[in-house]
Chain A
Amino acid sequence: MHVPDGFINAPVSVAAGAVAAGAVAVSLRGARRELGGVAALGSRRGQGDGVGGERTAPLAGLVAAFIFAVQMLNFPVAAGTSGHLLGGALAAILVGPYTGVLCVSVVLLMQGVLFADGGLTALGVNILVMGVVTVLVAYGILRALLRVLPNGRGSVTGASFAAALVSVPASAIAFTGLYAVGGTADVELGKVFAAMTGVHVLIGIGEALITAATVGAVIAVRPDLVYGAREFAARPLEVRTTRVAAPGDGTVPRPAGSPAGAATGSPDGSAAAPVGETAAASAASVRPDGRSASPARTNRGLWLGGMAATVICAGVVSFYASGSPDGLEKVAADNGIDKKAEDHAAKDSPLADYGVGGITDPRLSGGLAGVIGAGATLAAGSSVFFAVRRRREANAPQAAGTPSGASGAGGPSGQEAV
């Protein structure tokens, strides 16, 4: 549902508009690369960033038209009621985060200007909540899950389900946050949070089902069009070459000359390395991820186990945790230190005191808060970790660029060790 004029006060609307404009500006730049990257995957010769420029407008425009149209596709629920797709998560998965933000923003802009759906001053709020938050959350979850899940179409579908499932309540939470800052109506924050989240969890389930099925349908026919899973579903073209001389001393590997060799290349490099040296012939913009090699696989088990344990601990075991104050609180209370302690500034936050506001059952509330807290911590920690690693990778691009050993496509996997 689009936010109308007058729901969020003017200063916050303007601020949200500025943030949304920044996000759109960043997306305009990024979409060029994303849509150009798809070109490199296809039959055209990949030239990197330069190609994308003139492809952006037609492709992003048509994708925006698709999102606009697919929002009119009715999915019957029961007894005459029906719902429709919101499309943010779907766009993120199919065309990538930048293009996704761009397409959803354009759809919202046109809906606001032409159909009076969503206020003009609330345009920034709408783009921020429904475009940016939804797309970023969905894409982040998709990529994180694809890292830990085994390769295959099933994982992509499952990850899309989870991504869409979380993205809708996340956007509801983002809206509640904006409402907390600049809401004009005097409704308790807890009530707004509970109502918004409750309704949007239901909507999210429907959105997740449809998104997963749609992504599954696309990936079965054109796996190369699913941007979020391009390294996992689309097989990069491998040209087998015979080894002419030791690599690294300037001799160029020569193609074997048999075109059939390209087609029979090992699908994901998980099997033993082919007899001849393989060189990933995918264009320079397709980063060989090497994620299927064995070290990554063992880590994946660890990851899965760890995440399962965390969820169980946070969600279930915390039911039985001690309700009495922890050590420091106890000491403070005994000594009267806490007389002066003021309540925490975030005491009104929806997650204060490790319970979800608006949910009365203490166990359910505590467990939910635990899961949300653990998830937030995990997200923050992982983002720091990935940022650090990306920087480290950026510092040593040459090392990854040249195939250093005879392992070919599996080569870069050595630095995949987590």
Chain B
Amino acid sequence: MGAGHAHKLYLHGHSPVHALPPHCKLAAVFCFVLVVVSTPREAMWAFALYAVLLAAVARAGRVPYGHLLKRMLVEVPFVAFALLMPFVARGPYVEVQGMSLSSSGLWGAWNILAKGTLGVAASVLLASTTELRELLLGLQRLRLPPLLVQIASFMIRYGDVIADEMRRMRIARLSRGFSARGVRQWGVLAKSAGALFIRSYERGERVHLAMVSRGYTGTMPVIDDVNATRAQWTGAAALPLAALVVCLMGWAL
């Protein structure tokens, strides 16, 4: 808790993007990704325009491009998969530097790479400019079932606690001379996982009792209800609307 109460994914700042109500941002990102996914893959320039749009949002939110790119590394496994695709897809084949690659596979790889990367970038931007608690409030405003939002907020709140518990167990294992080298050590690790489950569940029971004793009846009171003004909605809608224009142009051309 020494590092403040914001999550490490969040980039503190005061920008127009930070100031937007969370549910507007969530809706905007979701619509944007949906538009990107339904763009025809042959319109390569459209994807470039989408990238420019996202870069403009990052600029407005004062998110450094380096931060954005570092967080996008999560995508790497799928890049590998996409690069494999020209070799396994069926043909007509084209010659590229002595290798015979499937042209439909190349298109498929491009499709996944472009759309996946844009989706990841949009979510990274959302997480960097919105606080976790706000994000959960936004989900609730978007009519997600309150129970689901509560579960998610408990998960977020206690995720670090449970992860810390796991880290302490690891240190305990290490200090007793345990080192995991292969399958033979799985028994010990699985026992740790079992113990972790019991501790998590019992912590849940204690949390529940503590909350009930403070008057919890199954619903959380909404203290700060965020309402979006028309101007804020318009600001948030700028991104998906611009994307929609690009998408329509992509279909028309």
Contact = CB atoms under 8 A, between A and B. Distances in A.
Interface stretch (A59-67, A239-247, A280-288): A59-67
Which of A6, A24, A68, A214 has the most chain B CB within a 10 Å cutoff?
A6
A-B interface, 3 closest residue pairs, ranked by CB to CB distance from nearest: A61-B154, A6-B115, A217-B194
Contacts of A120: 29-30, 33, 119, 122-123
Contacts of A103: 151
A86 interface: no
Interface string A38-81: 00000000000000011111111111111011101111111000
B197 A54 contact: no
Contacts of B33: 5, 119-121
Contact of A54 (B75, B123, B216): B216
B52 interface: no
B194 A214 contact: yes
A221 interface: yes
Contacts of B180: 74-76
Interface string A188-199: 100100000000
B197 A114 contact: no
Contacts, number: 262
Given A5-B33, A77-B183, A116-B120, A217 B195 contact: yes
B208 A110 contact: no
A76 B37 CA distance: 37
Nearest to A120: B33
B108 interface: yes
A113 interface: yes
B116 A73 contact: no
A53 to B, nearest CB: 4
Contacts of B156: 110
B83 interface: no
Interface stretch (A130-138, A179-187, A267-275, A308-316): A179-187
5 contacts: A7-B115, A69-B163, A120-B123, A217-B194, A221-B194
B151 A102 contact: yes
A121 B33 CA distance: 7
A187 B116 contact: no
B116 A6 contact: yes
B123 A213 contact: no
B88 interface: yes
B196 A69 contact: yes
A58 B154 contact: yes
A54 B155 contact: no
A116 B34 contact: no
Interface of B: 7, 9, 26, 29-30, 33-34, 36-38, 41, 71-72, 74-75, 77-78, 85, 88-90, 102, 104-105, 107-109, 111-112, 114-116, 118-124, 126-127, 132, 135, 139, 145, 147-148, 150-159, 161-163, 165-166, 180-183, 185-187, 189-198, 200-201, 203-205, 207-208, 211-212, 216-218
Nearest to A8: B37
Given A6-B115, A63-B200, A73-B189, 16 more contacts: A5-B115, A54-B217, A57-B154, A57-B218, A58-B211, A61-B150, A61-B153, A68-B159, A69-B162, A73-B193, A78-B182, A106-B155, A186-B104, A209-B183, A217-B190, A218-B198
Contacts of B161: 65
Contact of A7 (B30, B112, B163, B166): B112
A1 interface: yes
A28 B71 contact: no
Interface string A206-224: 0001100111111001100
Contact of B112 (A6, A215, A225): A6
Which of B7, B85, B163, B200 has the most chain A CB within a 10 Å cutoff?
B200
A109 B197 contact: no
Q: Main secondary structure on chain A at its contact with chain B?
A: helix
A59 B108 contact: no
Nearest to A116: B123
A368 interface: no
Given A5-B119, A68-B159, A191 B88 contact: yes
Nearest to B163: A69
A25 B192 contact: no
Contacts of A191: 88
A78 B183 contact: yes
A144 B81 CA distance: 37
Contact of B74 (A10, A109, A116): A116
Given A78-B182, A213-B190, A62 B119 contact: no
Contacts of B198: 218, 221-222, 225
Given A61-B158, A62-B203, A184-B111, A4 B119 contact: yes
B197 A66 contact: yes
A213 B192 contact: no
A187 B81 CA distance: 12
B30 A114 contact: no
Contact of A76 (B71, B108, B181): B181
B148 A28 contact: yes
A320 interface: no
A356 to B, nearest CB: 18
Contacts of A4: 75, 78, 112, 115-116, 119-120
B184 to A, nearest CB: 10
Contacts of A54: 208, 211-212, 216-218
A185 B102 CA distance: 11
A160 to B, nearest CB: 11
A6 B120 contact: no
Given A6-B111, A58-B154, A218 B194 contact: yes
